[in-house]
Structure 1
């Protein structure tokens, strides 16, 4: 029998998202390195039935929610339960970095949570700490040192920004604490910036393409000099939705966006028509999607006095700034908060709130730790 493969929840959800977006099964399997199409079929079934909890069950015999697997004996059942607890602890060790630097508070919380299911000594042994150390940490749990207060301050900032900031940005929000200290504390408690989910870029059949004028030079000397645009899927509501947005390369600000249910030419024209008066020589860069190569869109661009630029076919890196924004939007909202199924109104509200946050509050290191709007306002003075 072949070796069983365990896929992370993030991979399963990404596969579901791609299928909902109409991407062929074969392509999903190849891009995410999934062995068998039946696995994808099973995940889609769980998604449609509202059984997302089943995506987290361990490798082995699959079973219906609310019903446990059948075992030959009580001993086999206990062994299976013990294996599952070990898996949970192993995941915990990887996420919280227990083993490199044991965190007393986190260890105490974990033991308190699991002690009804297995002996305290057994839990401590799996975590690689002495049982006496656990009791000592538990007894000292209510005593807070200056380091504890410092760590709490860092943790509060990480949670306030929903773990969207790395240690450099968190350091900028603090006083009298070095970058190395903030980095060490964030690693210690697992407060690092969340890893972004990789995004697949669609490719279309272009009708009328233009040269790539940017050539991956994503710099601009003044506002509205160079713009980039793209469309991304929003498969989180009652029906498939899309986001069309335009980003200013001068400060990374989203200056126009539209949320809709159909990614046709009218959809991107609505975003284009939101643009303010543009300076002479403004460049708008996009991919070779059919909506951007259409006659109506090309005509509207010329009427606005814009010079069009396009990525090479199948090369998302040619339009990476807007790709990165769309990835950040999903990673820092839907994926971060485990929102995979909600109402269309909720999806629209989340996207609008995030874009306001991204433009006005979220600081960027390359903008001297200012938000895009703050950077632009200072630049035009």
Structure 2
């Protein structure tokens, strides 16, 4: 039985569709300059679903914030956005956040919050997952490493597994492109070098 699938929140143009400012230029040599976000869906037991919306820093792949819910509501994206904005507010460079064209990211509240916080908005072209490959890669790792081959579990069990995986991914999972460090270790290391 299929446990996960690509969640599609696209409902046409229901608000503001932003330009693709990132345009597959995912590399950033400074923290908090380029962020990306997306929603993925998981199946649970009893016909329930779980929705995950993380916000990732493209500098080191760190998940800055995330939200997990039973429904893909507007709060699923607004809560982690609020947390991420707190983290990046003291950034040296203006932040850009990239997403797909899902209704959440076209919503007036999302757009207004970005403008109020002087954050640029960038959107993938319609139906082009390569335009957001850092987040797609994270979802692939999460699903493969967290429960490859395991049976479906309850919403609460899966939520707990995802929380533990994100902590592991940020703090312990090393990446070759980060000089063999985890995302958090790399951020700390580079900030010490810059000091």
**What is the TM-score with the length of structure 1 in the denominator?**
0.47
CA distance in 1, matches of 2:130, 2:106: 19
SS state at 2:38 partner: strand
CA distance in 1, matches of 2:183, 2:63: 9
Preserved CA contact (<8 Å) 2:34 2:58: yes
Q: Which residue of 2 aligns with 1:291?
A: 104
Q: Which residue of 1 aligns with 2:138?
A: 325
Q: Which of 154, 161, 165 pairs up with 1:350? A: 161
User: After TM superposition, where is structure 1 displaced by more than 2 Å over at least 4 residues in a row?
Assistant: 200-203, 277-280
State the 1:212 CA deviation: 0.3
Render the CA deviation track for 1:206-252: whole Å, top value 9, x for unaligned.
32101000110111121101000000002134411100000000000
CA distance in 1, matches of 2:56, 2:142: 13
Q: Does 1:255 align with 2:64?
A: yes
The answer to which of 231-240 and 344-353 deviates more is: 231-240
Q: Does 1:212 align with 2:26?
A: no
Q: 1:277 to 1:214 in 2, by over 3 A?
A: closer
Q: Which residue of 2 aligns with 1:127?
A: none
SS state at 1:380 partner: helix
Q: Does 1:374 align with 2:185?
A: yes
State the 1:203 CA deviation: 5.9
Q: RMSD of aligned C-alpha atoms? A: 1.5
Q: Which residue of 2 aligns with 1:227?
A: 35
Which has the larger strand fraction? 2
Q: Which of 158, 169, 172 pairs up with 1:361? A: 172
Q: Which residue of 2 aligns with 1:240?
A: 49
Preserved CA contact (<8 Å) 2:88 2:95: no
Preserved CA contact (<8 Å) 1:236 1:339: no
Preserved CA contact (<8 Å) 1:201 1:316: no
Structure 2 spans left out of the alignment, 5+ residues: none
SS state at 1:379 partner: helix
State the 1:361 CA deviation: 0.6
Preserved CA contact (<8 Å) 1:292 1:298: yes
Render the CA deviation track for 1:146-204: whole Å, top value 9, x for unaligned.
xxxxxxxxxxxxxxxxxxxxxxxxxxxxxxxxxxxxxxxxxxxxxxxxxxxxxx46361
The within-5 A match list for 1:114-125 is none
State the 1:302 CA deviation: 1.2
CA distance in 2, matches of 1:324, 1:312: 18
Q: Which of 139, 152, 155 pairs up with 1:341? A: 152
SS state at 1:378 partner: helix
**What is the TM-score with the length of structure 2 in the denominator?**
0.90
State the 1:303 CA deviation: 1.5
Structure 1 or 2, whichever has the larger Rg, is 1
The within-5 A match list for 1:59-78 is none
Count how many residue pairs are aligned between Structure 1 and Structure 2.
185
